[in-house]
Amino acid sequence: MKAETSFPIPSQAQASQQGLARSRAAMLGLEEAFDDIPGITASMLIAFGNSGIRTTEDLAACATDDLLGWTERRGDKVTMHPGILGDMGVSRTQCDRIILQARVRAGWIEDTALGA
């Protein structure tokens, strides 16, 4: 005898698809809004999480040098400071775009300001 239910029971495949649909950012303990920022990859999300950047406001507060890295010169001594994404081969322009999109999502600037 088969029992009737008033609600659908998802198959194992459907349950698996629902799990895959879960936000990449949320799986890493980051704010889901990261998934809406163009140009952010899974490896970037891991780097952000490892660096303590967990919200779009954290990312919006970054300078391009924070992501890309910078060089400091004192006399004859040159010190390279790696950025959060410095070993990923991203450009300064890509970092700028990511930060600006984070600032839009954080409500710091209007999306229309990016088109100017």
> Where in the chain are the domains?
63-107
Residue 73 neighbours by CB under 8 Å, 6+ apart: 79
| pLDDT for the residue 33 | 86
How far does the chain reach from its first CA to its final CA, in angstroms? Answer: 68
| pLDDT for the residue 116 | 56
**CA-CA distance, 72 to 83, in Å (whole number)?**
13
Is 85 within 8 Å of 47 (Cβ atoms)? yes
| pLDDT digit string, tens, across residues 91-102 | 999 999 999 999
For the chain, which ranges sit under pLDDT 50? Answer: 5-11, 13-22
**CA-CA distance, 35 to 73, in Å (whole number)?**
37
Q: Taking the mean position of all CA atoms in its chain, how far away is CA 69?
A: 17
pTM of this structure: 0.73
